[in-house]
Amino acid sequence: MFCIAVKTKTMAIKFEKVKKNTDTGRFEPGIEVFVKLCRFLIEKIIFNTYFCKKLSLDKKLIIQTAVETIGIERDAIGQLSNFIDEHFADAIQCIHEIKGRVIISGIGKSAIIAQKIVATLNSTGTASIFMHAADAIHGDLGMMRPDDIAIVISKSGESAEIKVLVPLIKNFGNKLVAICGSAKSLLATQADFLINTTVDAEACPNNLAPTSSTTAQMVMGDAIAVCLLKLKGFTADDFARFHPGGALGKQLYLKVSALSAANEKPAVFLRDSIQKVILEISGKRLGATVVTDDLQQIKGIITDGDIRRMLEKHSNLSSIQAADIMSPDPKTIDADVLAVNALQHMQKNNISQLVVTHNGHYAGMIHIHDLIKEGII
């Protein structure tokens, strides 16, 4: 609206100048400018009343479509529980009992879902391999071994590649599990086990683009993986062995000892001067120091906050010793505990340092910055 006002004022001034400077009595130039002004205003009015309104409607349409999509896929997932029966349990038991690997195949979007399920199974202790259905009939079937089991994923169960692949797997003598959205398809009827992923409709308004069907496939894949995980007794320690990299892996395997070993070991005795305490804290760069007795047993801790509070209270520092300003019985953690537990300990007690012990003896110190550096936070 500001732009319209400026433009209107500019053209009006121009119109006035044309009127005043005209000696011939003809006002055609001024009328021409006036016509342009009117046209400009009409165009702007149309833009503001139509296009801005259209933009607003488009936003409403976007929000409505997104909500509808989520709702359709939510309902599709909810209906999957109707297909969890004894046949599903039989398929899971068969997969669990095989001595070989799980070979998962598919075509198109189902192939992408197959890759995700393979990744989930491998990370939870079930050895799996992805085999693209198109490549399988051109040589990749050679990866299948007699003890393997095949899972083929398809919405229709009637894709050309699937029709070729299914009898080949059967001829090999391997068990076949179908994750399929059509119980009467070739894939479903030829498989040893059917895991049904039928959906009422795709979220796509044309009911064409794989949306609800691929979501159903992925959810059923997760159900398979979690069932196998429980049957195997898969633990957090097992998970850590397969996820050594990244923040997730560190949360599952990184121990306090690995962090404290990288730090210096600040310590002063009970009778040490305040000067010695300050030098120890600043020199070891952990924001605190442990206070020990002559037998090196932990008696307390002094943080840089304790130093500041002491300076506020005392002007004569010559007689102050470590024992005078320490906090007794500091929070400690064993060196063999996971680092993520150290973080929880810090958060619970609202502290930044933890004294590390091993077999009851002072072993070092960790700071919350160590946890941040390692990606634990």
The pair of three-digit structure tokens given for residue 323, joined into one six-digit string: 């024992």
Please determine, for residue 309, whether its predicted confidence score (pLDDT) is greater than 70: yes
* Residue-wise pLDDT tens digits, 57-78: 688 889 999 999 999 999 999 9
Please determine, for residue 128, whether its predicted confidence score (pLDDT) is greater than 90: yes
Phi, psi (deg, nearest 5) at residue 208: -120, -55
| Residue 319 pLDDT level (bands cut at 50, 70, 90) | confident
Burial of 179 (0-12, 13-18, 19+ CB in 10 A): buried
pLDDT at 20: 45
Beta bridge partners of 244: none
More reliable by pLDDT, 273 or 28: 273
pLDDT at 113: 98
Per the CB < 8 A criterion, the answer to whether 176 and 148 are in contact is no
State the distance between the two ends of the chain, measured CA to CA, in whole angstroms.
Answer: 49
pLDDT at 52: 58
pLDDT at 42: 72
Contacts of 333 (CB under 8 A, 6+ apart): 256, 341, 342, 345, 354, 355, 356, 357, 366
Domain residue extents for the chain? 2-76, 84-234, 256-373
- What share of the chain has pLDDT > 70, as a percent? 85
SS3 at position 362: strand
Beta bridge partners of 102: 128, 149
- Computed on alpha carbons and rounded to an integer, the radius of gyration of the chain in Å comes to 36
* Residue-wise pLDDT tens digits, 142-181: 999 999 999 999 999 999 999 999 999 999 999 999 999 9
pLDDT at 252: 77
Q: What is the mean pLDDT of the chain?
A: 88
Rounded to the nearest angstrom, the gap between the alpha carbon of residue 279 and the centroid of all alpha carbons in its chain is 43
CATH number attached to the domain at 256-373: 3.10.580.10
Per the CB < 8 A criterion, the answer to whether 113 and 214 are in contact is yes
Q: How, if at all, do strands 267-269 and 193-196 pair?
A: unpaired
* Residue-wise pLDDT tens digits, 365-376: 999 999 998 888
Contacts of 164 (CB under 8 A, 6+ apart): 137
Cα 55 to Cα 33: distance, rounded to the nearest angstrom: 32
* Residue-wise pLDDT tens digits, 246-272: 667 777 788 999 999 999 999 999 999
pLDDT at 191: 97
Tell the CATH topology of 84-234.
Rossmann fold (3.40.50)
Please determine, for residue 2, whether its predicted confidence score (pLDDT) is greater than 50: no
| Residue 53 pLDDT level (bands cut at 50, 70, 90) | low
Please determine, for residue 351, whether its predicted confidence score (pLDDT) is greater than 60: yes
Cα 33 to Cα 212: distance, rounded to the nearest angstrom: 59
Cα 33 to Cα 319: distance, rounded to the nearest angstrom: 92
Contacts of 126 (CB under 8 A, 6+ apart): 95, 102, 225, 228, 232
pLDDT at 7: 47
Cα 367 to Cα 294: distance, rounded to the nearest angstrom: 25
* Residue-wise pLDDT tens digits, 196-251: 999 999 999 999 999 999 999 999 999 999 999 999 999 877 887 777 766 677 77
**3-state secondary structure labels for all residues of 184-233:** CCHHHHHCCEEEECCCCCCCCCCCCCCCHHHHHHHHHHHHHHHHHHHHHC
